[in-house]
Structure 1
Amino acid sequence: MPPIHPDQRVAVLADARNLYHSSHSVYSRNVDYASLLEAAVYDRKLVRAIAYVVRAHAPEEETFFEALEDIGFETKIKELKTYSDGTKKADWDVGLSLDAVTLGRHVDAVVLCTGDGDFSRLCSHLRHEGTRVEVMGFRQSTATELIEAADSFVDLSERTDRFLL
């Protein structure tokens, strides 16, 4: 795959729920999305930045969504579903994957900000189509198969001073 250069067009797709759970389980801290976006773009041409979030009707949730938009992310919001047996579910795997495949045709690189191994097949597909795939996540909670499927991996744990609030 080609190296990173300033003329590359890039799309940044952030799995906010995965990043939240990873940063809280390991560090009990929040992700600095401004620093995340800046590092993901890396002096290239940002085409689109999307944060995939779940509305769970928690305090400060709307403030967080607005902050993401102020930083430069478009937010895609899914409602948390509660099933009759009490289980709760809301994930963006299909939506994020469809956006990545669609955007992959219009950019040189897709940056996936997640540790979810379910996206390893997506990485392989995008790379096969000629799109560079970069993954940013916390090593302790990033699936090995996702790291191996990407062109590059940025371990957010190596720079907690930059990537955590």
Structure 2
Amino acid sequence: MENVHPGQRVAVLADAQNLYHSARSLYTRNIDYASLLDAAVADRQLTRAVAYVIRADSPEEESFFEALVDIGFETRIKDIKTFGDGSKKADWDVGMSLDAVTLANHVDTVVLATGDGDFSRLCSHLRHEGVRTEVVAFQESTAEELVAAADDFTDMSEDVERFLL
């Protein structure tokens, strides 16, 4: 990675739903969030690490949320919404984007851990504001426009033993 130096202040924003579904569908495994955070920070100064999670009332999720906090993530938790037709929806796109824009004045780099192409516009905005943008995700499930919009892309599929439990 070029333009990376130890004094850089880094914020890591992890889209837990996106990462979970990618890891499960590609490898039927779970994300190693400690390794993810370590790779994202890459010997720089961590300013904030936020994991955006959805509460779906599954028995193991509270221990997962606690584990994220132990690793060093703040958790933002949103309850899943069930609509009249039975469909369910929950995503953190707007919340993550607002946090990234808010943090932009306080960091040099924003690392987005997601493959969601909806964040490509956010990368362009942050770069325009002078903030380096990096994406950490699985190549196979990452939108091409997101990779193109970021300053750097780390493909978690290139080192699954590091990034997966």
TM-score, scaled to structure 2: 0.99
Find the aligned partners of 1:23 and 1:59 in 2 and give their Cα distance.
20
Structure 1 moving runs of 4+ over 3 Å: none
Partner in structure 1 of residue 161 of structure 2: 161
> Within 5 Å, which residues of 2 pair with 1:32-71?
32-71=32-71
Q: Is it true that 1:77 corresponds to 2:77 in the alignment? A: yes
**AA partner of residue 98 (structure 1):** L
**AA partner of residue 89 (structure 1):** K
Note the aligned Cα RMSD (angstroms). 1.0
Partner in structure 1 of residue 143 of structure 2: 143
Aligned residues: 165
Equivalent position SS for 1:124: helix
Percent identical: 72
Equivalent position SS for 1:153: strand
Structure 1 unaligned blocks of 5 or more: none
Partner in structure 2 of residue 118 of structure 1: 118
Partner in structure 2 of residue 91 of structure 1: 91
Offset at residue 105 of structure 1 (A): 1.1
Find the aligned partners of 1:156 and 1:59 in 2 and give their Cα distance.
27
> Within 5 Å, which residues of 2 pair with 1:5-44?
5-44=5-44
Equivalent position SS for 2:7: coil
Offset at residue 61 of structure 1 (A): 0.4
Offset at residue 62 of structure 1 (A): 0.1
TM-score, scaled to structure 1: 0.99
Find the aligned partners of 2:138 and 2:105 in 1 and give their Cα distance.
28
Offset at residue 59 of structure 1 (A): 1.7
Structure 2 unaligned blocks of 5 or more: none
Equivalent position SS for 2:160: helix
**AA partner of residue 102 (structure 2):** T
Find the aligned partners of 2:21 and 2:59 in 1 and give their Cα distance.
17
